[in-house]
Amino acid sequence: MEFEALQQACLTCQKCDLCRTRTHVVFGSGSPRAEVMFIGEGPGRNEDEQGLPFVGRSGQLLDQYLAAIHLDRQRDIFITNIVKCRPPENRDPLPNEWDACMPYLREQFRLIRPKIVVCLGRIAAQRLIRPDFSVMKEHGQWTEKAGTFFTATLHPAALLRNPGNKPLAYGDYVALREKIRQVCTHTYPEQRGGATE
């Protein structure tokens, strides 16, 4: 219930100027009981139109990686972004916009309490792991903070621009599957006591 109240507040938010140009707030999608959270940078055009995260071409690529490690984006994970409203012309979010929006992400963390956080791309990784984080050098590595394991992988939009890097990302998802098996309790069917796939 608290989660729905947070969502309601976010959907009408006017705490930064991105509220003037957005069509829809993109709060996030998936399960509030997920043990794994994926965090991108900010909504793009398709996301702004539909009010849902990662529904454009990058989202389709993300779905392929999720399918490869048997994760369902509605049931098994929660996906959101560092800023919930689309920056005009897909520019990087400005520091004051991050700051204004961060309380929503913080509350999402508090309510979901993920075991694993996957940063998609540089913006999320530098904001959530370390300000000088290099995605090309450090993707797939794990950092533990207060019992939550953080990692970063290449942003799907970057992979669409540089398809040669797709094997690097694939390796990160395989490592993610292993980490889920180690630290999660109900993400995969065998962890829920169900049949293995």
Q: Which residues bind ligand URA (CB under 6 A)?
A: 40-44, 47, 53-54, 58, 81, 157
Rounded CA separation 169/158 (Å)? 11
Give residue 31's identity as a one-letter amino acid code: S
From the CB of 98, what's the least distance to ligand SF4, in Å? 9
Contacts with ligand SF4 in 94-113 (CB under 6 A)? Answer: 97, 100-101
Among residues 38, 55, 61, 84, the one that binds ligand SF4 under rule CB under 6 A: 84
Among 15-23, 143-151, 175-183, 186-194, the segment contacting ligand SF4 (CB under 6 A): 15-23
Q: Which is nearer to ligand SF4, 41 or 172 (CB)?
A: 41
Which residues in this chain contact ligand SF4 in the complex, by CB under 6 A? 10, 13-16, 18-19, 25, 83-85, 97, 100-101
